[in-house]
Structure 1
Amino acid sequence: MSRTYLRAVGLTAVGLLNAGLTQASAARTLFDSTAIPQERFAVLAQPIGRVQWKLLVLEQIKTQPRCWRERQDGLVEPSLNRFNFSAICKRYLDSNGYSLRSGGQDLGTRFRFRLKQSGTSLRLEALDPQQRAPLLVGQARIPRRDLNGFVQLQLESGWALERRVYQARQLNHLYFAHQEPVNRLLALANSHGHRSVFSRLGTPMPPIAPPPLPAARTTRRRTTRLASNAPIRLQVIPYRR
């Protein structure tokens, strides 16, 4: 009876495991993606307050009027606010509009994007709370901080914008996509992180040689040789009562 029960429990566990794997596989293949013309999009960082940044992606659907323009100071002005941009421009403002995709796998529920500033450099990173090193997706130089001027980010090599596809139908959702599996990207990010830690320590210095030991001094001691045949005089102390 106990063997039959244990066997039934084992079969049930295997069935649940297979069902879980099937659901996970179905979730991975639920959405597909397709390549899109990169020149139609601008990945921008919008300054918020004194130190914060917000990620924004603009799409130019029609050629005119322009949805953004570059300023002489190196910043970008989103000009779509000057006209009715319906059917001309499209905005992707948050995780409802974009997410991460790597190796053909949707990772929107696992990774979140952040903009991290270091001096005049701005990095677009994808962060998994369970991992130490983030994935570097894009970066830019900050010419200056202006609440009316956005910073345009350049995607790193291997990264590109793609559009989400469901049953051959394109959706209003973008991917920051990479062809490599995410585990490989994380391994590379961790290795780069270790190298950067050691680089901050500087070039290792050779060990300092110890100073030479002082040369041993030769000393000569004068010795008095006693004649073997001469008597030795001892001092006698008189005894007193």
Structure 2
Amino acid sequence: MQRTYLPRLGAGLVLAVAGASSWLGLGGSQAASLFNSLPLDQRRFAVLAQPVGRSDWKLLVLEQIRPEPRCWQERPDGLIDPALNRFDFTGICSRYIDSNGYSLRVGDSDLGSSHRLRLKQEGNRVALVAFSPSDPTELLVGQGLLRQRDREGFVLIQLEPDWRLQRRAFGSQTLSHVYLANDAPLAQLIDRANQGRSPAPQALPQPALALNPPPVLAAGQGPITLPVVPYRP
């Protein structure tokens, strides 16, 4: 298994950081102060709900690195075709399929260890919500229109107005991990959700089909994936 981690640091230093966090009793959000986040061009990404079985859904985030060929396309029925499955997308598309690739960030805190993301169907809508096992409050992160259920057609999820995709970074070094991020403090988001004051949903967007070529990254500036080094006290 591989996980995004600190770039260009020796295994000993990675272990030292992990050990220090454990020894100090730091929670996920405090330990995550090691990382910061960087803005992304939202047009290069698609947040998708993939149908699984008869009623379940799986979250998938796609990134268009090069403009062609297209990593996803809108079908005539409004569902999304994950076109990258039909060609070798190495260097063209990136996909983030689980918590190794994406997580929640609120304010300046990484909530990947305390909150989960899940998709749930509500009538003809598929909602992306964040929640904590210790708190029943659900934060609406995004939603999409379900025109019909088709195992080959994905539902485009539009993030709510105050949510954005961001890149995890360590200093100025970008990592191969994306955040679903909100700048507001967690307590404020929970208060809004409990009082039914979440921002009104926006009109569902069409997939971004025209992209400018992304800038060429200098050596050592691109996303880095390193093996996980297990910590043993």
* TM-score (structure 2 length as normaliser): 0.72
* In structure 2, distance between residues paired with 1:49 and 1:28: 35
Alignment of 1:97-176 (within 5 A): 97-176=101-180
Larger radius of gyration: 1
State yes or no: 1:49 paired with 2:53.
Answer: yes
Greater RCO (CA < 8 Å, at least 6 residues apart): 2
Higher helix fraction: Structure 1 or Structure 2?
A: 1
Secondary structure of 2:89 counterpart? coil
Paired AA for residue 143 in structure 2: Q
Q: Which residue of structure 2 aligns with residue 227 of structure 1?
A: none
Secondary structure of 2:195 counterpart? helix
Per-residue CA deviations over 1:146-190 (Å, capped at 9, x if unaligned) read 000000000001000000001311000000000001111011111
Distance 1:26 1:186, change over 3 A: closer
* In structure 1, distance between residues paired with 2:81 and 2:72: 6
Residue number among 11, 36, 42 corresponding to 2:40 in the alignment? 36
* In structure 1, distance between residues paired with 2:107 and 2:160: 16
Secondary structure of 1:63 counterpart? coil
- The alignment covers a number of residue pairs equal to 174
Cα deviation for residue 141 of structure 1 reads 1.1
Cα deviation for residue 20 of structure 1 reads 3.9
Paired AA for residue 32 in structure 2: R
Q: Which residue of structure 2 aligns with residue 201 of structure 1?
A: none
Secondary structure of 2:148 counterpart? coil
On the 8 A contact 1:103/1:178 being kept in 2, the answer is: yes
Paired AA for residue 113 in structure 2: T
Per-residue CA deviations over 1:220-241 (Å, capped at 9, x if unaligned) read xxxxxxxxxxxxxxxxxxxxxx
On the 8 A contact 2:30/2:109 being kept in 1, the answer is: no
Paired AA for residue 130 in structure 1: S
* In structure 1, distance between residues paired with 2:157 and 2:37: 22
Cα deviation for residue 26 of structure 1 reads 5.8
* In structure 1, distance between residues paired with 2:64 and 2:173: 20
On the 8 A contact 1:132/1:190 being kept in 2, the answer is: no
Secondary structure of 2:90 counterpart? coil
Q: For structure 1, which segment, 57-66 or 26-35, has the greater mean C-alpha deviation from structure 2 after superposition?
A: 26-35
Q: Which residue of structure 1 aligns with residue 209 of structure 2?
A: none
Residue number among 49, 64, 69 corresponding to 1:60 in the alignment? 64
Q: Which residue of structure 1 aligns with residue 75 of structure 2?
A: 71
* In structure 2, distance between residues paired with 1:174 and 1:97: 6
On the 8 A contact 1:123/1:136 being kept in 2, the answer is: yes
Paired AA for residue 151 in structure 1: V
Gaps in structure 2 of 5+ consecutive residues:
1-22, 198-233
Secondary structure of 2:196 counterpart? helix
* In structure 2, distance between residues paired with 1:58 and 1:28: 24
On the 8 A contact 2:103/2:180 being kept in 1, the answer is: yes
* In structure 1, distance between residues paired with 2:24 and 2:184: 25
* In structure 2, distance between residues paired with 1:92 and 1:192: 31
Per-residue CA deviations over 1:189-210 (Å, capped at 9, x if unaligned) read 11119xxxxxxxxxxxxxxxxx
Residue number among 91, 95, 120 corresponding to 1:91 in the alignment? 95
* In structure 2, distance between residues paired with 1:143 and 1:28: 39
